[in-house]
Amino acid sequence: MKIEISRHKVHNAFAQKVEEISGQNLFACYQCGNCTAGCPVSFAMDLGPHQVIRFSLLGLEEEVLESNTFWICASCLQCTSRCPKGLDIARIMEALRLVILRKKERLDHLEVAELSKEFLERIPQIALISGLRKFSS
């Protein structure tokens, strides 16, 4: 329950990487929770989008990257369209996915091989392509 913060941790290299990929200023978030409130999939997240932004700003890389939040995000842009501070939260979620997918280990979130043949036959191309775009390196 305790975190130690210092000038080295707050807005650290990880936070800056998230900012660079997303083009968003993490300091601009005033933690109103509007993103979490309107998110159609926040019920399944272990951290709300607003918490992910806070954790990222504090430089808590491990905690953020262990959360399922950005893997659950469906890029529906509801958060982005209503953010009072004009933050494009969907871009922050994308950045977090990419922080992981761009690592040299290439830890894909979705392996096509794990999908059943029956399911692969059922799903439309659009689902598979967009899913792979979001979940694999």
Partner 1 sequence: MDRIGVVLCPCELEGVPLFNPEVVVETLKGRGEVLPLIHDPPICSESGMEAIRAFVENNELDRVVVACSKPELFGPPFKKALRRWGLNPSLSEVLGIPPAPERASEGGIQEALRVIQNGIDEIRGRKPSKSQKSPFVKRVMVIGGGITGITASIDLGNAGYEVLLVDRLPSIGGRMLQLSETFPTLDCAQCTLTPKTVETGQHPHIRLITHAEVESVSGDVGNFLVKIRRKAAYVDWEKCTGCGLCQEKCPSKVPSEFERGVGLGKAIYTLSPQAVPNKPVINREVCRYFTKGKCRVCEKVCPAGAIDYDQEDTLIEERVGAIIVATGFDLYPKEEIGEYGYGDVPDVIDGLAFERLNSASGPTAGEIRRPSDGRVPKEVVFIQCVASRDPERYMPYCSRACCMYTAKHARLYKHKVHDGRAYIFYMDIRSMGKGYEEFIQQGVEEEGILYLRGRVSRLFRDNNHVVVWGADTLTGKKVEIAADMVVLATAMIPSRGAKELAEKLHIGTDEYGFLTEAQWKLYPVESGVEGIYLAGCAQGPKDIADTVAQGNAAASKVQALFAQH
Partner 2 sequence: MVYLYFPGCTLYTKAQNLDEAGRECAKVLGFELKELSNWTCCGATFPLAKDNIMALAPPVRILARAKEEGSTLTTLCSVCFNVIKRTNQLIKGDEEKREKVNTFIEMDYQGDVRVLHYLEILKQEVGFDTIKATMKRDLQGMKVAPFYGCMLLRPFEEMQFDDKEAPTIFEELLEAISCEPVDFPYKIECCGAFQSVGAPEVATECAYAVLNSALKNGAEAVTTTCPLCQFNMDSMQKEIHEHHNDFRGIPVIYFTQLLALALGLPAEKLEFQRNDVDPRPLLKEKGLI
x-marked contacts with partner 2 along 68-107 as a string, rule CB under 8 A: ---xx-xxxxx-xx------x-xx-xxx--x---------
Of the residues 22, 34, 36, 69, which one makes contact with partner 2 according to CB under 8 A? 22
Q: Is residue 48 within the footprint of partner 1 (CB under 8 A)?
A: yes
x-marked contacts with partner 1 along 103-122 as a string, rule CB under 8 A: --------------------
CB of 35 to partner 1, least distance (A): 8
Give the DSSP letter string of the chain.
------TTTTT-HHHHHHHHHHT--GGG-----HHHHH-TTGGG-SS-HHHHHHHHHTT-HHHHHHSSHHHH-----HHHHH-TT---HHHHHHHHHHHHHTSTT---S--GGGS-HHHHHHS-HHHHHHHHHHH--
Give the binding site for partner 2 (CB under 8 A).
Answer: 20-23, 40-41, 43-44, 71-72, 74-78, 80-81, 88, 90-91, 93-95, 98, 109-110, 115, 122-135
